[in-house]
Amino acid sequence: MNQTTLLPQLETYKLIPVIKIDHVDDALPLSDALAAGGLPVAEITFRTEAAVEAIRKVTSARPEMLIGAGTIVNVEQAKRAVDAGASFLVSPGMNRAVIEFSIENNVPVFPGACTPTEIMTAMEYDLNIVKFFPAKQYGGLSTIKALSAPFPSIRFMPTGGISETNLTEFLAFSGVIACGGSFMAPGKLINEKNFAEIQALTAKAVSIIHS
CB 55 within 8 Å of CB 30 = no
Cis peptide bond N-terminal to 111, omega within 30 = no
Task: Report the relative pairing of strands 109-110 and 89-90 from DSSP bridges.
Answer: parallel
Our finding on whether 160 is near ligand 3PG (CB under 6 A) is yes
Our finding on whether 182 is near ligand 3PG (CB under 6 A) is yes
User: Nearest approach, Cβ of 138 to ligand 3PG (angstroms)?
Assistant: 12
Q: Which of 88, 133, 151, 170 binds ligand 3PG (CB under 6 A)?
A: 133
Our finding on whether 17 is near ligand 3PG (CB under 6 A) is no
Output b/e per residue, 105-135; b: 16+ Cβ within 10 A: eebbbbbbbbeeebbebbeebebbbbbbbbb
Cα separation, 159 vs 38, in Å, equals 19
Please, which residue, 49 or 126, has the CB nearer to ligand 3PG?
49
Give me the active site residues, please.
43, 131
Site string for ligand 3PG, 44-83 (x = CB under 6 A): -x------------------------xx------------
Q: Which of 88, 101, 156, 183 binds ligand 3PG (CB under 6 A)?
A: 183
Please, which residue, 59 or 71, has the CB nearer to ligand 3PG?
71
Query: Helix axis angle, 51-61 relative to 27-37, nearest 10°?
Result: 60
Binding site for ligand 3PG (CB under 6 A): 18, 45, 70-71, 133, 159-162, 180-183
